Chain A
Amino acid sequence: MLNLNVVTLSPTQQKLVHSLEIAIGQLMDSENVVGVVFSGLEEMSQFVLQGELNGIVHLSGQISAIIGLSMSQNLGRELIAQMTGLSADMLEKEDMMDGVAELVNIVCGAMKSNAQFGPIVLTTPVAILGGEITAVWKTTLPTLKLTFEIQEEILNILLYIEDEKKPRNVD
């Protein structure tokens, strides 16, 4: 069961976490993936990606943030196979790189739509593949780690909010 009591969230964090949860639900619904559970939320001191498959997008504008997805090879392969209609065994490295980039792009795009903040620009997505890789961002504030259980595998989403501009008055 999800326990949010251990992490105190700012209103912006709450909005983004909720929007990410909805985005994951929308993505999995669109691919008929069932059994998706938002099972954990914790605060990390660093933004570290060390899954077998990782994707990153930066947000700038009303909010400056980094969002990272991290998952196992098994889960990524199954999701990308489901999305493309190809057999998981047929997916080549280029498909996996493209697929991971597309996954993080779709999740962040859906999150942006769901959150309905002011103007936010998403960078082009980055995919990092390889179980031996650990990517660390030298952040100055804590990072939130959202954990989703999907078909007995784990999908982690890291959320680092660097800065939030105050809403401007609209004339």
Chain B
Amino acid sequence: MRILIVDDSSVMRKIISRGLRQAGFKIDDILEADDGQKALDVLRDHTCDLILSDWNMPVMDGLQLVKSVRSGIPEIKKIPIVMVTTEGGESKVAAAIEAGANGHIKKPFTPEILKSTLDKFFK
């Protein structure tokens, strides 16, 4: 399982990596990008099984990333995307889901929340 974590905060990328390990997921590789555009660049060169993305980022935000992936080449357009964000408002979550996101995790989160939300993507 290879996961791409997209967040402009290097600390948050570390927090998510640690949370995934604590949740007990078997992960072969974690890729990182600090904005949506760089995530697309990573996806051009690497295969990936799951994307965890922040919402507010410079250059390209999380919503635009979801839209770009879903309208992208066949190799990437079906990759599950879960938003990890402080923006817990219903309208934002709905916009992300409508754009093609597969789930949403609100910060702060526990390993248990990661486990329950992401379990289905690891099976």
| Interaction A to B | yes
Does A105 lie within 8 Å of B86, measured CB to CB? yes
Tell me the smallest distance from the CB of B118 to a CB of chain A, in Å.
Answer: 16
Q: How many residues of chain A have a CB within 8 Å of chain B?
A: 26
Report how many A-B pairs have Cβ atoms within 8 Å.
62
Q: A-contacting residues of B (Cβ < 8 Å)?
A: 9-12, 14-15, 17-18, 21, 56, 85-89, 106-110
Does A109 lie within 8 Å of B10, measured CB to CB? no
> In the complex, which residue of chain A has the Cβ closest to the Cβ of B14?
A84
Does B15 lie within 8 Å of A84, measured CB to CB? yes
Given that A83-B15, A109-B86, A109-B87 are contacting pairs, would A27 and B108 also be in contact in the complex, using a CB cutoff of 8 Å?
yes
Residues of A within 8 A of B9 (CB): 98, 101-102
A109 to B86 CA separation, bound complex (whole angstroms):
5
Does B108 lie within 8 Å of A26, measured CB to CB? yes
A85 to B18 CA separation, bound complex (whole angstroms):
6
Does B11 lie within 8 Å of A106, measured CB to CB? no
Give per-residue flags for A99-140: 1 if the beta carbon is below 8 A from chain B beta carbons, else 0. Answer: 101100110111011000001001010000000000000000
A115 to B99 CA separation, bound complex (whole angstroms):
27
Give per-residue flags for A6-47: 1 if the beta carbon is below 8 A from chain B beta carbons, else 0. Answer: 000000000000000000001101110000000000000000
Residues of A within 8 A of B18 (CB): 83-85
Residues of B within 8 A of A106 (CB): 86, 107-108
A87 to B85 CA separation, bound complex (whole angstroms):
25
Does A102 lie within 8 Å of B109, measured CB to CB? no
Tell me the smallest distance from the CB of B97 to a CB of chain A, in Å.
Answer: 17
Tell me the smallest distance from the CB of A101 to a CB of chain B, in Å.
Answer: 7
Does A110 lie within 8 Å of B108, measured CB to CB? yes
Given pairs A110-B108, A113-B88, A124-B56, 15 additional interface contacts (CB within 8 A): A27-B108, A30-B110, A80-B11, A83-B11, A84-B15, A95-B10, A98-B9, A98-B10, A101-B9, A102-B15, A106-B108, A109-B87, A109-B106, A112-B89, A122-B86
Residues of B within 8 A of A86 (CB): 14
| A94 contacts the other chain (CB 8 A) | yes
Residues of B within 8 A of A113 (CB): 88-89, 106
Tell me the smallest distance from the CB of B108 to a CB of chain A, in Å.
Answer: 4
Top 5 A-B pairs, shortest CB-CB distance: A109-B86, A85-B18, A84-B14, A30-B108, A98-B11
Tell me the smallest distance from the CB of B48 to a CB of chain A, in Å.
Answer: 22
Tell me the smallest distance from the CB of B20 to a CB of chain A, in Å.
Answer: 11
A26 to B110 CA separation, bound complex (whole angstroms):
9
Does A30 lie within 8 Å of B109, measured CB to CB? yes
